[in-house]
């Protein structure tokens, strides 16, 4: 039986159209950093990053997400250290110039060779603006406009979608974590709308693993469907996260099965985009989950 999924307006921009509810879109992660929590940071190797993006597209990625600054919070670093026996170390902030040096050549290289949208994962308006000129067509802000509200103005001026993630690292959650996440996302969404971003261009991310305990992350995953009340497409980035490592006792390179479980559960609750490291495997998980949740026929 096909599960009913609440519809939200399609997102149309430039030459793309994402019709939400028809399928789960897969976003492939390209970390152009030396300190990615997931162990897949490619540092200064532009050729390797472009090759990875091309491989992700061949494996079925619907869009690519290029980031030049690790967003690993200290809390997650501590969990990783507990699992691996290493030392906790929070990701370092990088300058605008360094972030541009990392991401622009990769975005330029990919934009000449792929037909899927390229997202720039940044918290800086200056980086986003330059990335869009280099060929990016989407902005992914892991601080939900709390660090640089001008990101909304950049998105509005360029007419591109904006992903807003819930991230209140260091905050103490009293009561219902899902209610707090919805409140935070609504704040970010309203700020974006006030700056001229069209409602259909706002995508929301509950921030799995950011400023939340493992128990709170699991609670959030159980209740993802409630976030659809906000009326926007939902993106989930649980891939290889430390909560999976804590539950399974597995190092970061051995979390494919745990990630697959989060993807399947997310699809079942109507999540629209999954942001993943292991594209080939998660495309298969998403397709099978979609067949169960959204329906399937021989002609598909």
In tens, the pLDDT along 186-222 reads 999 999 999 999 999 999 999 999 989 999 999 999 9
For residue 169, what pLDDT band results from cuts at 50, 70 and 90?
A: confident
CB neighbour class for 200 (10 Å; exposed up to 12, middle 13-18, buried from 19)? middle
Residue 85 CB contacts under 8 Å (≥ 6 apart), including other chains? none
What is the pLDDT at residue 25?
A: 98
Model pTM? 0.90
What is the mean predicted confidence (pLDDT) over 77-82? Answer: 48
Torsion of CA 164, 170, 171, 172, to 10 degrees: 140
Would you state the pLDDT for residue 71? 76
Residue 80 has pLDDT above 90, yes or no: no
In 3D space, the residue among 288, 284, 283 whose CA is nearest the CA of residue 63 turns out to be 283
Do the beta carbons of residue 37 and residue 86 sit within 8 Å?
A: no
pLDDT (mean) for 286-300: 91
Q: How confident is the model at residue 48, as a pLDDT?
A: 93
E runs forming strands in the chain: 11-13, 16-18, 25-31, 63-67, 118-121, 138-141, 162-165, 202-205, 235-236, 273-276
Segment 26-32 shows an average pLDDT of 96
- Classified as helix, coil or strand, 119 is strand
Task: Estimate to the nearest angstrom the gap between the alpha carbon of 117 and the chain centroid.
Answer: 14
Residue 16: other Cβ atoms inside 10 A? 16
Return the H-helix or E-strand segment holding 9.
none
Among this protein's residues, is 241 annotated catalytic?
yes
Determine how β-strand 63-67 pairs with β-strand 202-205. Answer: unpaired
245-262: average pLDDT: 96
Catalytic residue among 275, 280, 287, 294: 275
DSSP character string of 227-243: GGGG-S-BEE--TT-HH
Which is higher by pLDDT, 37 or 205?
205
C-alpha to C-alpha distances, 78 to 68, 164, 219, nearest whole angstrom: 22, 25, 20
Give the pLDDT confidence score for residue 91 in this predicted structure. Answer: 55
What integer pLDDT is reported at residue 86 of this predicted model?
Answer: 46
Q: CA end-to-end span of the chain, whole Å?
A: 17
The top-level CATH class assigned to 20-292 is alpha beta
What's the whole-number mean pLDDT along residues 254-283? 98
- Number of H-type helices and E-type strands within the chain: 10, 10
Distances (CA, A) of 201 to 47, 56, 140, 145, 152: 31, 24, 12, 15, 11
Which band of pLDDT confidence, cut at 50, 70 and 90, is reported for residue 98?
very high
**What average pLDDT score do residues 166-170 get?**
82
Catalytic residue among 146, 241, 246, 255: 241
**Residue 63 pLDDT > 60, yes or no?**
yes
Question: Catalytic: 212?
Answer: no
State phi, psi for 164 to the nearest 5 degrees. -115, 120
């Amino acid at each position: 039986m096909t599960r009913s999924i609440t519809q939200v307006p399609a997102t149309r921009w430039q030459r793309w159209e994402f019709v939400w509810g028809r399928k789960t879109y897969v976003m492939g992660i390209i970390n152009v950093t030396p300190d990615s929590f997931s162990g897949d940071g490619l540092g200064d190797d532009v050729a390797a990053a472009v090759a990875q993006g091309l491989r992700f597209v061949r494996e079925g990625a619907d869009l690519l997400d290029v980031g030049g600054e690790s967003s690993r919070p200290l809390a997650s670093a501590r969990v990783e250290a507990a699992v691996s026996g290493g030392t906790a170390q929070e990701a370092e902030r990088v300058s605008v110039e360094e972030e541009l040096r990392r991401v622009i050549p990769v975005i330029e290289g990919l934009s000449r060779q792929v037909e899927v949208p390229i997202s720039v994962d940044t918290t800086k308006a200056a980086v986003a603006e330059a990335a869009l000129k280099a060929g990016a067509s989407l902005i992914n802000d892991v601080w939900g406009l709390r660090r640089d509200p001008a990101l909304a103005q950049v998105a509005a001026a360029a007419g591109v979608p904006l992903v807003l993630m819930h991230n209140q690292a260091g905050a103490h959650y009293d009561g219902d974590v899902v209610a707090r996440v919805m409140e935070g996302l609504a704040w970010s969404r309203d700020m974006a709308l006030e700056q001229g971003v069209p409602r259909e261009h706002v995508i929301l991310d509950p921030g799995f693993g950011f400023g939340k305990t493992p128990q709170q992350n699991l609670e959030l995953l159980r209740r993802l469907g409630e976030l659809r009340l906000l009326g926007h497409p939902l993106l989930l980035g649980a891939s290889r996260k430390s909560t999976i490592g804590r539950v399974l006792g597995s190092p970061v390179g051995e979390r494919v099965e745990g990630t697959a479980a989060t993807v399947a559960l997310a699809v079942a609750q109507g999540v629209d985009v999954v942001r993943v490291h292991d594209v080939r495997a998660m495309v298969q998980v998403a397709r099978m989950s979609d067949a169960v949740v959204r329906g399937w026929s021989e002609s598909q």
